[in-house]
Amino acid sequence: MSERVIIFDTTLRDGEQALSASLSLEHKLRIARQLERLGVDVIEAGFPVSSPEDFRSVKAIADTVTDSTVCGLSRAVKADIEACGAALKNAERSRIHTFVGTSPIHIHKKLRKTESAVIDLAREHVRFARNLCDEVEFSAEDACRTEPDFLCRIVEEAILAGATTINIPDTVGYVVPELYAQMVDDLMNRVPNIDQAVLSVHCHNDLGMATANSITAVKHGARQIECAMNGIGERAGNCALEEVVMTLATRQDYLPYECGVVTEEIMRTSKLVRDLCSMPVQPNKAVVGSSAFSHSSGIHQDGILKAQNTYEIMTPQSVGLKENVMNLTSRSGKHMVKNRLIELGYREDEFDIAEFYTRFIDLADKKGTVYNDDLIVLMELDGENVAD
Ligand code: KIV
Ligand code: ZN
């Protein structure tokens, strides 16, 4: 059996942070139930200390979800961790995710502390969290701009203190795949107790590389990917869940790892998040955009009609769609038009495709997309082709 990559979903935490209106408890619960059905391993449900409503939502999710671990976020601050512990108390499996900034800019400008004080904070708060939940995750915030020796030191200390997941977030979406790979290699080779924790990645998409960075990190030894449905999250968003999951699903030759996501639930989850978060999905968004399985070029349409994988690397059914979409335009060929007429119920002896196609192109040139209703009208306009 192949190794597993843990899918940690942060739609309800990092994703929700980026919305103009916060989600209600009821909506958060609906999304959490769907994420559980989707099969994610961990649901990061919120940041309980941030507001009474967020506390209530995390608690309601922890009280309800049974198949996924429920996680709450906390700074390396006792009150945050206590709030997490209280919100997660009834969870079937609970995780506290505590973080502290580790890059020079975070340590000196934001926290106004020394490196050793930050190590103390990490050690002390991981230890404190350990008694309030089943598992503790530690994040070295802004890891990609952190000095490598310091990163190794703080990771080692967090593991000694009891963290079982170590996350190295690209908080500002700054890293590129090759450099992220070097970071992961460095941690794997230099942190003596790294094998006692799962290495996790959390990539932001400021330069559009969140998925590439996450996948590269897995190739180099990371075994948890933090991601959000439709890629929502701070600024340009988080790594998109659907992209990493479908990369794992379609590229087993390159990444022979399994994950627990039921890919057929992807579209349903995407639409729910889109609607409840009032966050539209761009049409050409990978995997879940409305054009992700639609074909317009005549050459592509003809290829697909002959063998679906000529122009599709995954099936629409594998992400929960009924079928792909063939847009009829002036670029569509005779083969495609004829196929659509037959799908609409016309018999081959009811039309002369060469003649019909000339009229179709005429209309498509004027109109752009030709819909099924247009085809029916076009058939009826030609007296000779109207069925008796
Ligand atoms: O981007 C980030 O660094 C975060 C941490 C809290 C993990 O969201
Ligand atoms: Zn983040």
Q: Coil, helix or strand for 14?
A: helix
In this predicted structure, the answer to whether residue 129 has a pLDDT above a threshold of 50 is yes
Q: Is the CB of 14 under 6 A from ligand 1?
A: yes
Ligand 2 is an ion; its neighbours by CB within 5 Å are: 14
Whole-number Å distance between alpha carbons of 367 and 61? 49
From 13, 16, 71, 73, give the residue whose CB has the most ligand 1 atoms within 8 Å, as the site to mutate.
73
From 98, 106, 141, give the residue whose CB has the most ligand 1 atoms within 8 Å, as the site to mutate.
141
Helix axes 78-87, 52-64, angle to 10 degrees: 40
Whole-number Å distance between alpha carbons of 41 and 7? 5
Per-residue pLDDT, 384:
54
* 116-128 pLDDT per residue, tens: 999 999 999 999 9
Distance 74 CA to ligand 2 centre (A): 13
Beta bridge partners of 173: none
Q: Is the CB of 357 under 6 A from ligand 1?
A: no
Whole-number Å distance between alpha carbons of 158 and 165? 9
Distance 173 CA to ligand 2 centre (A): 9
Identify the CA nearest to 238 among candidates 140, 142, 169: 169
Name the token pair of 122.
């990490």
DSSP letter (8 states) at residue 384: G
Per-residue pLDDT, 173:
98
**Contact indicator for 233, 17 with CB cutoff of 8 Å:** yes
- Secondary structure element (H or E) that encloses residue 335, with its range: helix 334-343
Q: Taking CA 211 as the corner, what is the angle to CA 292 and CA 222, rounded to the nearest 5 degrees?
A: 140
ipTM (interface predicted TM): 0.99
What confidence tier does 387 reach under pLDDT thresholds 50, 70, 90?
A: very low
Helix axes 241-250, 266-276, angle to 10 degrees: 170
Per-residue pLDDT, 343:
96
* 337-377 pLDDT per residue, tens: 999 999 999 999 999 999 999 999 999 999 999 999 999 99
Whole-number Å distance between alpha carbons of 316 and 263? 10
Per-residue pLDDT, 388:
42
- Residue 283 burial class via C-beta count within 10 angstroms: exposed 0-12, middle 13-18, buried 19 and up: exposed
Per-residue pLDDT, 2:
76
Total length of the chain:
388
Maximum Cα–Cα distance across the chain: 88
In this predicted structure, the answer to whether residue 249 has a pLDDT above a threshold of 90 is yes
Tell the residue nearest (CA) to atom 1 of ligand 1: 171
Whole-number Å distance between alpha carbons of 380 and 345? 13
Annotated binding-site residue? 362:
no
What confidence tier does 227 reach under pLDDT thresholds 50, 70, 90?
A: very high
Identify the CA nearest to 11 among candidates 54, 44, 48: 44
In this predicted structure, the answer to whether residue 383 has a pLDDT above a threshold of 60 is no
Q: Is the CB of 80 under 6 A from ligand 1?
A: no
Per-residue pLDDT, 386:
45
359-387 burial, b if ≥16 CB within 10 A, otherwise e? Answer: ebbebbeeeeebeeeebeebbeeeeebee
Q: CB atoms < 10 A from the CB of 113, how many?
A: 16
Beta bridge partners of 12: none
In this predicted structure, the answer to whether residue 254 has a pLDDT above a threshold of 50 is yes
From the CA of 73, the nearest ligand is 1
Name the token pair of 37.
């059905």
**Mean of all residue pLDDT scores within the chain:** 96
Beta strands 94-101 and 69-75, pairing class: parallel
DSSP letter (8 states) at residue 204: B
Which residues are within 8 A (CB) of 132 and not within 5 positions of it... i.e. 6 or more apart?
81, 82, 84, 85, 88, 96
* 163-207 pLDDT per residue, tens: 999 999 999 999 999 999 999 999 999 999 999 999 999 999 999
